[in-house]
Structure 1
């Protein structure tokens, strides 16, 4: 999958992305809302290696202006062949500039218009306000609130569950 938006190229991760990728996935604050600990260089390399090529489930977000990697998206099967999960991590230097929403909308469009999906879901912790705002701006709606459902080293996280159905996507386009 390679997609373009007005400001982004969305493509599989490449080995040349390693240093820019490591710059944000090694940061504790950036990784705070993810189940993984901050990555070291070996973990970052392994993640990129796993997600290269046509079977990729993680995709680079590259600025068209600078050709710089600014973050990545996960887009993977969630349940069967008809439901996918979407998620994102951006370098903090690029937060609050609309990049995540722009990419989310493009990936949701790809999911429904090219893959013929029935449903796309996303999750986040209630404290991660920017993340669920991206979900809402991308046309998703909150379906659930799961109390103490994700174990962490410090206890349990609550989780919001968002989704959009194919029919909702196409109705929004009208």
Structure 2
């Protein structure tokens, strides 16, 4: 289903909402922090890339795919927490997984260790399970990113080998609707 508006999801501590132009400064700072990019390519994003990849693309995913990424903020005070969501980036991987919603989450380093990633990732999977017809989703994680591996496993992802992406092997996980192994 395409053309879906970005739903607002509220958890106990978080608000997940659509990206707005006014989020640009927080996103630019986020995507230039060494800990943010450590397991995601290792290179800071230019302001141009942040605008195109994090503001425009993340809104456009919803129009094209009917799912996408949310900006995550604290419910109290609205402080920036990170981004979570699903996409079909048509990644050039071997083997490929086009057509399967790929989950991703990137939490601000100053919010590490507070359970925000688990809270947000659980909320979006509850949404995907109840609001879409997708029977499975996937994610790819750097083998050295132990915190993300733990989050994936807690949500019900099971590793199904590796995929070759950007000339590196990364762990490939799948999750069936409802959190069972795909």
| TM interval, short-chain normalised | 0.7 to 0.9
Pick from 52, 57, 60: which aligns with 2:71? 60
The count of aligned residue pairs is 162
Match of 2:123 in 1: 106
Please list every run of 5 or more consecutive structure 2 residues that lacks an aligned counterpart in the other structure.
Answer: 1-6, 89-96
Normalization by structure 1: what TM-score? 0.83
**Is this contact kept in 2: 1:60–1:72, CA < 8 A?**
yes
Matched ranges for 1:68-83 at <5 A: 68-77=79-88, 79-80=98-99, 83=100
Q: Tell me the C-alpha RMSD between the 2 structures.
A: 2.1
Report whether the alignment pairs 1:24 with 2:35.
no
Please list every run of 5 or more consecutive structure 1 residues that lacks an aligned counterpart in the other structure.
Answer: none
**Is this contact kept in 1: 2:8–2:16, CA < 8 A?**
yes
CA offset digits 1:4-27 (Å, max 9, x no partner) = 111111112111111111111012
Q: Which has the higher strand share?
A: 1
Distance 1:36 1:92 in 2: 14
Distance 1:35 1:58 in 2: 19
Moved more, 124-133 or 44-53: 44-53
**Is this contact kept in 1: 2:101–2:137, CA < 8 A?**
yes
Match of 2:4 in 1: none
Match of 1:122 in 2: 139
**Is this contact kept in 1: 2:34–2:42, CA < 8 A?**
no
Distance 1:24 1:126 in 2: 22
3-state SS of paired residue (1:126): coil
Normalization by structure 2: what TM-score? 0.79
3-state SS of paired residue (1:52): helix
Shift of 1:36: 6.8
